[in-house]
């Protein structure tokens, strides 16, 4: 089967750095995405890793290790507006073609 695991909640202080981990188990792994969702809003795409290594986009970075079936999202210089839920999502190739499978999400609380 397919599964993704990420912490349910993380709390950090404004200005700090926080890392949200994601481990996955799929049969046809193709890549790992990250999405942000504020309360009452729609998910928005943050990043995608298909190859091992670190991808940086401003204050956000995403890392993938295919051999460890593991990735993380790194948020630097935390701001209050970063308080949101963060979802990792696996792009998986199955019998019906490619599809995206989302984790349950990590709720990030940023404190002043």
Q: How many residues bind another protein (CB under 8 A)?
A: 24
Residue selected from 61, 62, 78, 105 as contacting another protein according to rule CB under 8 A:
105
Asked whether position 42 contacts another protein by CB under 8 A, the answer is yes
Q: Does the protein bind another protein through residue 71 (CB under 8 A)?
A: no
For another protein, the binding residue among 3, 44, 57, 79 (CB under 8 A) is 44
- Regarding 29 and contact with another protein (CB under 8 A), the answer is no
Closest to another protein by CB, 99 vs 111, is 99
Is beta strand 53-57 parallel, antiparallel or unpaired with respect to 60-65? antiparallel
Q: Which residues pair with 19 in a beta bridge?
A: 74
Q: What is the rounded distance in angstroms from the CA atom of residue 23 to the CA atom of residue 42?
A: 23
Is the separation of the CB atoms in 37 and 7 below 8 Å? no
């Amino acid at each position: 089967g397919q599964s993704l695991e990420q912490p349910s909640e993380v709390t950090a202080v404004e200005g700090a750095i926080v890392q949200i981990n994601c481990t996955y188990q799929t049969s046809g792994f193709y890549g790992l995405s990250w999405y942000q969702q504020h309360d009452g809003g729609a998910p928005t795409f943050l990043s995608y890793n298909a190859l091992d290594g670190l991808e940086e986009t401003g204050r956000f970075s995403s890392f993938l290790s295919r051999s460890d079936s593991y990735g993380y999202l790194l948020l630097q210089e935390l701001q209050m507006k970063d308080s949101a839920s963060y979802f990792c999502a696996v792009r998986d190739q199955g019998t019906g073609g490619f599809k995206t499978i989302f984790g349950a999400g990590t709720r990030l609380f940023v404190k002043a």
